[in-house]
Structure 1
Amino acid sequence: MKSNRFLKKGYTTGSCAAAAAKAAVMTVLNDEIVITTQITLPKGESISIDITDTQIDGDSVTCTVKKYSGDDPDITNGILVCATVRKNSGGIKIDGGVGVGRVTRNGLDQPVGNAAINSVPRQMIRNSINEICGDYDGGFDVIISVPNGEEIAKKTFNSRLGIEGGISILGTSGIVEPMSEKALLDTIFLELNTRKSAGDSIAVLVPGNYGEDFAKKTFGIKNTVQCSNYIGDAIDYASDLGFSDILIISHMGKLVKLGSGIMNTHSKYADGRMETLALCAALAGVENFADILDCVTTDEAYEIIRDTKTIDILMKRIDKYLKHRSDVNIGAIMFLNKQGIIGKTADVDGILERI
């Protein structure tokens, strides 16, 4: 809620790409222009997305979706996401065209050289196409493009991350949640209050979907509260509400910032990931600690420090800042998607025993 009205959700560039691709395939197979198409999101919900334009050029069809970001202040709101589709002898082959970036550095979701179309959107595109193939036993070439994507990318961090030539096609849930700061903070407080009222004594905080999924799969914890970038505020709320313990479960990319006392992890406020890791590596005696400053992602940086005492030093720093923030018993678990748990603060094992 904001100003006594509900904020509207939108849909991700990944959802736009999946809807455009599905509509194009429907036109290729049925020779009918599609006005609206329905896609299934990663968690099973279905949404309908309008197709703003369809172009037929010989044996290929291009469908276009105009991205809608709801009430989220998203730089990609209103952009056109296009999918050009043609039949092939077998398999769904996905690539990027004009305005979709290319990966130029290791450590990102896609290998070097691939179009910056992340794994979840790629699977959404495949699933959406497979839903309608029927008796057709061939495949499709799918090219995703964004006409003004290269210009939009100049206003993002893509070039710093190692993505050149356009935007990324993103989304883990398919939905863009409205990110009004006050609305999001109110939601975090409300969810924590609901969990406390339901009898939970331990607040389990996760920044987003990665942390939520990791908590479920690794520890069987279902009652997590997503705190986005507002880790410090969520700690304050949980402390004020009287939780006996607070446990934070987070990917390294977010949690490492706490090692420098950064409690709002949004990049517009502060980054410091590589600087924090480089400091801890230097304290651990890593000779090439300065190489960390040139890394794009924490996954990449981890390869430099994985067999050293760097993470131990980092977790002690995180523990210090967490305990400075709250008098409640508090701990943090840090993980990477491939390696699993790579670090824990001192009180984590005791908290896990009580969950």
Structure 2
Amino acid sequence: MTEAGRERSTGLRYGWTTGACATAATTAAYTALLTGEFPDPVRVDLPNDRHPSFALATEHLEADAASAAVVKDAGDDPDVTHGALVAVRVTTGPRGSGVVFRAGEGVGTVTKPGLPLPVGEPAINPMPRQFIREHVAAVAARHGGTGDVVVEVSVENGAELARRTWNPRLGILGGLSILGTTGVVVPYSCSSWIDSIRRGVDVARAAGRQHVAGCTGSTSERVVAELYGLPEDALLDMGDFAGAVLKYLRRHPVPRLTIAGGVGKLAKLADGHLDLHSGRSQVSTESLAAMVREAGGAPELVEGVRGANTALDALQQCRAAGLPLGDLVAAGARDTALGVLRGAPVAVDVVVIDRGGTVVGRA
């Protein structure tokens, strides 16, 4: 397939979403169903004036059906579906039925309300559906078809790959989602992770949850679930993306939010960072030292924290001196969160843990 180009700031290569791959496979299969020939490579038209061409990995023509598949190229993004075979089988539907979508092997089905698709529908998101409908209509216009087709999308090993995503928690069972809003995968944009956070809030709201939690990792998630007895669909997969959680809750509030994580991650949040990844923000021992000084810590403790190797080192120094740095970090993180929420009706509490999962601070 053609290369999408490279991101100017990093030089990393763009890739294509599963939605773009499914659109290409649909276009090739429906063309073959009407003409007897598979276009290879097959060109598709995506937003922002992008017109990539995809080589077909497989093709199969029957009397009343055609199938085609392409291999997903996610570019330089560490996408779980990079290299996956995205296949589509197109059959003729009843006149007037339009495009009907089916989940083939490896594509999930929606089982919980709150997602942008009704319960029972294949997990083929709205924008990929729109792309596919537009391309089906264009092929029908070129080759004299009606545009009434059944489009069954499959992803090889999709059920296994889905276990490495948040689909099961979101109520998408049996496989992957077919995703994409522009058709392009921007390297390290983490767009699918952030989309999962948003869908997690939607599912929690649809289930009537009054309390959700955003946790930086599995240990903090376990601690919060035990502290508050929260069900799985109230646990948001925040990871490093505290800003994504807070900004979405600002527009789609839930009455109560708990933020939980290790002292290092939450020290960064307390310092105003909304992306907590180690490659995009760093713990400021200067800020921790300022907290200790403002809390009345002795000058030698302030200097010890300023020279600490890690946030955990600072925490241990303060613990030995009887100063609750964990609580100070929690309070600072809560202040940052409330600032981002801008008065949205969301009560916030923060839980800070150490590496062993012991609670070392709350606010």
Distance in 2, Cα, partners of 1:324 & 1:99: 44
Report the CA distance shift for 1:261/1:87 in structure 2 as closer, same or farther (over 3 A).
Answer: closer
Note the C-alpha offset of 1:142: 0.7
Counterpart of 1:163 (choices 159, 172, 185) is 172
Q: Report the equivalent of 2:281.
A: none
Note the C-alpha offset of 1:31: 1.7
Q: Report the equivalent of 2:340.
A: 332
Q: Report the equivalent of 1:13.
A: 18
Note the C-alpha offset of 1:130: 1.4
Gaps of 5+ in 1: 185-206, 210-227, 230-249, 280-289, 299-305, 335-340, 346-355
Report the CA distance shift for 1:327/1:142 in structure 2 as closer, same or farther (over 3 A).
Answer: closer
The letter for the 2-side match of 1:101 is G
Report the CA distance shift for 1:296/1:64 in structure 2 as closer, same or farther (over 3 A).
Answer: farther
Q: Is the 8 A contact 1:10 1:70 kept in 2?
A: yes
Q: Report the equivalent of 1:76.
A: 81
Report the CA distance shift for 1:26/1:333 in structure 2 as closer, same or farther (over 3 A).
Answer: farther
Report the CA distance shift for 1:19/1:343 in structure 2 as closer, same or farther (over 3 A).
Answer: farther
SS of the residue 1:133 aligns to: helix
Q: Report the equivalent of 1:293.
A: 231
Residue 24 of structure 2 corresponds to residue 22 of structure 1: no
Distance in 2, Cα, partners of 1:52 & 1:269: 42
SS of the residue 2:124 aligns to: coil
Distance in 1, Cα, partners of 2:29 & 2:344: 44
Residue 71 of structure 2 corresponds to residue 54 of structure 1: no
Counterpart of 2:119 (choices 112, 122, 132) is 112
Q: Is the 8 A contact 1:22 1:37 kept in 2?
A: yes
Distance in 2, Cα, partners of 1:172 & 1:77: 17
Report the CA distance shift for 1:164/1:261 in structure 2 as closer, same or farther (over 3 A).
Answer: closer
Q: Report the equivalent of 2:138.
A: 131
The letter for the 2-side match of 1:163 is I
SS of the residue 2:182 aligns to: coil
Matches within 5 A, 1:90-109: 90=96, 91-109=98-116
Note the C-alpha offset of 1:15: 0.8
The letter for the 1-side match of 2:79 is D
Q: Report the equivalent of 1:148.
A: 157
The letter for the 2-side match of 1:145 is S
The letter for the 1-side match of 2:33 is V
Matches within 5 A, 1:228-243: none
Distance in 2, Cα, partners of 1:70 & 1:145: 21
SS of the residue 2:52 aligns to: strand
Q: Is the 8 A contact 1:86 1:142 kept in 2?
A: yes
Q: Is the 8 A contact 2:221 2:235 kept in 1?
A: no
Gaps of 5+ in 2: 1-5, 205-211, 237-248, 261-265, 273-330, 348-363
Distance in 1, Cα, partners of 2:187 & 2:92: 38
Distance in 2, Cα, partners of 1:296 & 1:327: 22
Q: Deviations over 1:40-87 (max 9, x none)?
A: 224453322222221012210001011111111112111111110122
Q: Is the 8 A contact 2:91 2:150 kept in 1?
A: yes
Distance in 2, Cα, partners of 1:73 & 1:158: 18
Note the C-alpha offset of 1:18: 0.8
Report the CA distance shift for 1:342/1:117 in structure 2 as closer, same or farther (over 3 A).
Answer: farther
Distance in 1, Cα, partners of 2:220 & 2:25: 36
SS of the residue 2:115 aligns to: coil
Note the C-alpha offset of 1:313: 6.0
Report the CA distance shift for 1:208/1:70 in structure 2 as closer, same or farther (over 3 A).
Answer: closer
TM-score, normalising length: structure 1: 0.56
Which of structures 1 and 2 has the bigger CA Rg?
A: 2
Report the CA distance shift for 1:138/1:155 in structure 2 as closer, same or farther (over 3 A).
Answer: closer
Report the CA distance shift for 1:106/1:35 in structure 2 as closer, same or farther (over 3 A).
Answer: same
Q: Report the equivalent of 1:221.
A: none
Matches within 5 A, 1:231-310: 293-295=231-233
Q: Deviations over 1:260-300 (max 9, x none)?
A: 796xx6x679769x869x96xxxxxxxxxx5x5243687xx
Note the C-alpha offset of 1:153: 2.0
Report the CA distance shift for 1:332/1:75 in structure 2 as closer, same or farther (over 3 A).
Answer: same
Q: Deviations over 1:228-252 (max 9, x none)?
A: 87xxxxxxxxxxxxxxxxxxxx959
SS of the residue 2:29 aligns to: helix
The letter for the 2-side match of 1:39 is V
Note the C-alpha offset of 1:9: 1.0
Residue 180 of structure 2 corresponds to residue 175 of structure 1: no
Q: Deviations over 1:205-247 (max 9, x none)?
A: xx969xxxxxxxxxxxxxxxxxx87xxxxxxxxxxxxxxxxxx
Report the CA distance shift for 1:326/1:166 in structure 2 as closer, same or farther (over 3 A).
Answer: closer
- Number of equivalences: 247
Report the CA distance shift for 1:343/1:148 in structure 2 as closer, same or farther (over 3 A).
Answer: same
Distance in 1, Cα, partners of 2:157 & 2:21: 15
Report the CA distance shift for 1:154/1:260 in structure 2 as closer, same or farther (over 3 A).
Answer: closer
Report the CA distance shift for 1:295/1:37 in structure 2 as closer, same or farther (over 3 A).
Answer: same
The letter for the 1-side match of 2:44 is I
- Residue identity over aligned pairs, in percent, reads 33
